[in-house]
Amino acid sequence: MSATGATAHAHVGHAGHHELGFIRTYIFSTDHKMIARQFLFMGLFMMIIGGLLALVVRWELAWPETAVPGLSMILTETGGILEPSQYNMAFTMHATIMIFFVIMPILAGAFGNFCIPLMIGARDMAFPVLNMLSFWVGALAGVLMLAGFFVPGGHAAAGWTSYAPLSAVPEYTGVKWGQNLWCISLFVLGISSMMGAINYITTIINMRAPGMKLFRMPLVIWSLFITAILLLLALPVLTSGVAMLLFDRTLGTSWFKPSGGGEPLLWQHLFWYFGHPEVYILILPAMGIASEILPVFCRKPIFGYHAMAFSMIAIAFLSWVVYGHHMFVSGMSPALGMAFTVTTMIIAVPSAIKTFNWLGTLWGARIRFTVPMLNALAFVSMFVIGGLSGIFMASTPVDIYIQDTYFIVAHIHYVVFGGSIFGAFAAIYYWFPKMFGRMTNTVLGHLHFWPTFVFFNLTFFPMHIIGVGGQMRRIYNPMQYEFLQHQQHWNVFITVSAFCLGLGQIPFVVNFFWSLFAGKKAPLNPWNSNTLEWTAPSPPPHLNWGPTLPMVYRGPYEYSSPESRDDWLPQTAPPVTAAGARRH
Amino acid sequence: MTPGLLEAPPERGPVTHRPNGPVPPPPPPTGGGDGPEREPWPRRPALDNLRLAVLFLIGSESMFFAALIAGLFVLRLGQPLWPPPFQPRLPVGVTGVNTLVLLASSVTMVGAVRALVRGEENLLVKRLVAAAGLGALFLVVQGYEWARLIGYGLTVSGGAYGATFYTLIGAHAAHVFGALVWLGATLVLASRGRFRHGRTAPVKACAMFWHFVVGLWPILYVAVYLL
């Protein structure tokens, strides 16, 4: 630290002497804040593609085999009517893009990069060049993934889980290079996320400002730390899995093909061994963001700081021993299924600790209903619904009935949209002033939040109903099944809500770009928050602070402390002396 | 003044001594974290950034190979006979000797780091060259054996035996090659005298990764060749 501190000071001394060119500032930047913005823009761009794919899927389910508006230009030979193979491609790529190229880049990529150095009081990441490489390798993965739409045979169409042997033999889906590109892209993304994770962990362990002890770190840093460990250890398993899948498809190996002595179930094991930690990779940063925003707008300390940190550690640990609950119907031994049921149920304990701590934070507070706070509250409430529906599927007897139905789709969207995306929106509204130096528009923020919240529930809650009613996932035309026809009106309702949900994002886009260029200049600390990033200028310059780093004297959530006349007490405020006066 | 932009650590307040000892600490904070105590000061990390990062890299790579080895065991437990009949046998003897070659490179690497710590630069370069040479020899022998196996008809597409063999051993060979490139770069820098004055972390980090790829090999040798 002393050596790095010395070099950082030397850099500060030279900072005024040379200006970096356009390319070094905006494209191949090693500044963690610019890389964070790059990740954010990448994620938001991919969100548009993933969202449009979802609307295509919804249209097909509500009005099967009719022309999708706007698609007649792309699908000229059918006049806009989706073919079954194209429908498969749409839902596969919707999930793949949303998980790997929207939520991971925004939550772990953008806010990981932005928050970690600023909130622990570091000038930059431990390895800035590695950080830049992490983004550009990730962007390459994104380009490879998008390239799959343009190859003959179409993109991957075996679901985002790409179960073998459906995905392992090109003849089964008729997809040749699309699935190969899917594998290559995820392999490349694995390398990118490994570089990012190593950087995050090293930075958090070694680069904290003086006085920033582990249990003085903001909870969002705790969550990103744990997320990075999960990324570091879970992604390589997927990486080796997709490498095997790619070899099966291109070199003729038989890892997953029974014809050559392979084992299709091996893919499910590898995939879900990665896949379950992956869902916590998606939700943990959002949990951290909510834990960060709730105390600020409640003007109260977080309830149970240590319990929050330890419950995240417990969730991360348990995420390694529950993956079998994705495979209850794969012919697993009932005794093993029972074991996975129990471990999965245990996850409810740390999750409930977190939920009750959030409620404890809200209890009795005079809440400021700002736009980031509304999104954080939406996160908490939607996460509770998503978490409770998860308990249904943790239980083997129930899961055998509801597996592969829309109940599962409802659950995943309640945790991933209701959880992670609301967390991402909360984070964008909360840190936008620091990130871009301008305030977002509150009216547009409300115009974005309320339709999103309402139509989110109208879209995804009825999916529980049609799921219990028997509607399967990934079917092209529900009207083909007599027992599903009586609930087709729900599919129409969901689709109309989904389109309204899509339209509800327009105020966000307008707000984002309008505020970026014409928003009110952001003050240093617009939310009167305690954490270190608000002591740096908005937006923070290269190397974040002036010649001296902030010093940390206290925990991050000392709101309404009796020690202070204000209702906030920054982490940099020195302790009160025996005489009772705070010394500056 | 703006909170946070402290120019210097604030000086301590006047210590009013009491008969029973110093002033009691201020009341505990209400907002999480542990209590305020003495002036914050930059910590000395236990391990420098580079070696810490390589440690996590090794953790990540271990999971990668754990998945591959788990895949191998799942596949072979599904087969009635392993190795399957009518397939060429793997060269256990030659590869055993080759294992010793790779292990020897790790020993020379230990010697290289020892020379580095003692500041004996010529010895460092010599031992790094020896480690890299042994590693390269390992790769060459492996490549030669691969070529012979392909000649005998063990192909990647001929079934689970060839598929697992080439994937696992190929993944390891790729890692040895990568570590060799890293070692070569370190060697060039060492010969230019870049690791003087206690700047030892890059060599040590490189040595850590080298020990990892070497230490991985006996596990793969037992799992793929012997069992």
Answer yes or no: is B30 within a domain: no
Tokens of B86: 């009518």
Facing residue for A1 by CB, picked from B2, B44, B84 = B44
Q: What angle do CA A223, A96, A148 make, to 5 degrees?
A: 140
Facing residue for B60 by CB, picked from A232, A254, A302 = A232
Query: B41 — contact with chain A (CB < 8 Å)?
Result: yes
The single-letter DSSP state of residue A99 is I
- What is the CATH number that goes with domain A27-535? 1.20.210.10
Work out the burial of residue B134: count CB atoms within 10 Å of its CB; fewer than 13 is exposed, 13-18 middle, 19 or more buried. buried
Let me know: does A142 contact A150? Beta carbons within 8 Å.
no
Report CB contact under 8 Å: A548, B8: yes
Quote the minimal CA–CA distance from A306 to chain B in Å. Answer: 7
* A505 pLDDT higher than 50: yes
> What does the pLDDT average to over A473-481?
93
Report CB contact under 8 Å: A555, B34: yes
Looking at A290-299, A409-418, B27-36, which range is the least confident one? Answer: B27-36
Tokens of B136: 């390269």
Amino acid at A315: I
Work out the burial of residue A518: count CB atoms within 10 Å of its CB; fewer than 13 is exposed, 13-18 middle, 19 or more buried. exposed
Which B residues 109-138 touch A at CB under 8 Å? none
Task: Please tell me whether the peptide bond between B83 and the residue prior to it is cis, using omega within 30 degrees of 0.
Answer: yes
Quote the pLDDT of residue A261: 87
Answer yes or no: is B166 within a domain: yes
Quote the pLDDT of residue A364: 92
Rg of chain A in Å (alpha carbons): 24
Quote the minimal CA–CA distance from A51 to chain B in Å. Answer: 32
Quote the minimal CA–CA distance from A425 to chain B in Å. Answer: 25
Q: What angle do CA B64, B67, B69 make, to 5 degrees?
A: 110
Beta-carbon count within 10 A of A419 CB: 29
CA distance A403 to A393: 7
Tokens of A172: 């089964």
User: Cα separations (Å) of A246 from A99, A185, A251, B77, B174?
Assistant: 20, 11, 8, 23, 17
Of residues B37 and A546, which shows the higher confidence score? A546
Beta-carbon count within 10 A of A32 CB: 27
Facing residue for B67 by CB, picked from A211, A270, A306 = A270
Residue A23: band (very low, low, confident or very high) from pLDDT cuts 50, 70, 90: confident
Residue A385: band (very low, low, confident or very high) from pLDDT cuts 50, 70, 90: very high
The single-letter DSSP state of residue A417 is I
Work out the burial of residue A417: count CB atoms within 10 Å of its CB; fewer than 13 is exposed, 13-18 middle, 19 or more buried. buried
Report CB contact under 8 Å: B167, A255: yes
* A15 pLDDT higher than 50: no
* A299 pLDDT higher than 60: yes
Look up the CATH number of the domain holding residue B74: 1.20.120.80
Helix axes A305-318, A264-298, angle to 10 degrees: 170
pLDDT in tens, chain B (227 residues): 445 444 555 555 544 444 444 555 554 444 444 444 445 656 677 888 999 999 999 999 999 999 999 999 999 998 888 888 888 889 999 999 999 999 999 999 999 999 999 888 899 999 999 999 999 999 999 999 999 999 998 988 888 899 999 999 999 999 999 999 999 999 999 999 888 877 889 999 999 999 999 999 999 999 999 98
Helix axes B121-152, B201-220, angle to 10 degrees: 30
Report CB contact under 8 Å: A251, B157: yes
Report CB contact under 8 Å: A563, B162: no
| Nearest Cα residue in chain A from B45 | A206
Query: Residue A81: helix, strand or coil by DSSP?
Result: strand
Give the mean pLDDT of chain A: 92
User: Which among A7, A127, A195, A198 is the top mutation candidate for probing chain B, defined by the most B β-carbons within 10 Å of its own β-carbon?
Assistant: A198
Report CB contact under 8 Å: B157, A253: yes
Please count the structural domains in chain B: 1
Report CB contact under 8 Å: B34, A213: yes
* A582 pLDDT higher than 80: no
Answer yes or no: is B22 within a domain: no
> What does the pLDDT average to over A557-576?
88
Report CB contact under 8 Å: A269, B74: yes
First-to-final CA distance of chain B:
71
Residue A577: band (very low, low, confident or very high) from pLDDT cuts 50, 70, 90: low
Cβ contacts of A339 within 8 Å, gap of 6 or more: A324
Query: B83 — contact with chain A (CB < 8 Å)?
Result: no
Phi, psi of A478 (to 5 degrees): -60, -25
As a whole number of angstroms, the longest Cα–Cα distance in chain B is 90
| Nearest Cα residue in chain B from A214 | B33
Task: Please tell me whether the peptide bond between A550 and the residue prior to it is cis, using omega within 30 degrees of 0.
Answer: no
Q: DSSP letter string over B24-89? A: PPPPPPSSSSPPP-SPP-----SS-HHHHHHHHHHHHHHHHHHHHHHHHHHHHHTSSSSSPTTSPP
| Spatial CA neighbour of A156 closest among A236, A225, A100 | A100
Answer yes or no: is B167 within a domain: yes
Report CB contact under 8 Å: B59, A233: yes
Q: Encode burial over B167-200: b for 16+ CB neighbours within 10 A, e otherwise.
A: bbbebbbebbeebbebbbebbeebeeeebeeeeb
**DSSP H helical segments within A176-215, as ranges?**
177-206
Let me know: does A506 contact A443? Beta carbons within 8 Å.
no
Tokens of A291: 């834990």
Quote the pLDDT of residue B74: 93
**pLDDT tens digits along A87-129:** 999 999 999 999 999 999 999 999 999 999 999 999 999 999 9
User: Cα separations (Å) of B9 from A316, B26, B45, B54?
Assistant: 38, 18, 21, 34
| Nearest Cα residue in chain B from A304 | B32
User: Which among B51, B55, B63 is the top mutation candidate for probing chain A, defined by the most A β-carbons within 10 Å of its own β-carbon?
Assistant: B63
Let me know: does B158 contact A251? Beta carbons within 8 Å.
no
Quote the pLDDT of residue A56: 95
Range of the domain at B173: 49-226
Quote the minimal CA–CA distance from A313 to chain B in Å. Answer: 16
* A583 pLDDT higher than 90: no
Report CB contact under 8 Å: A262, B75: yes
Phi, psi of B22 (to 5 degrees): -70, 175
Quote the minimal CA–CA distance from B51 to chain A in Å. Answer: 9
Q: What percent of chain A has pLDDT over 90?
A: 84
Size of interface A-B (CB pairs under 8 A): 224
Hey, what long-range contacts does A378-382 have (CB within 8 A, 24 or more apart)?
A378/A418, A378/A422, A378/A426, A378/A449, A378/A453, A379/A286, A379/A289, A379/A290, A379/A418, A379/A419, A379/A422, A379/A423, A379/A426, A380/A290, A380/A294, A380/A355, A382/A414, A382/A415, A382/A417, A382/A418, A382/A419, A382/A422, A382/A456
Cβ contacts of A4 within 8 Å, gap of 6 or more: A206, A207, B49
Quote the minimal CA–CA distance from A377 to chain B in Å. Answer: 20
CA distance A117 to A105: 17
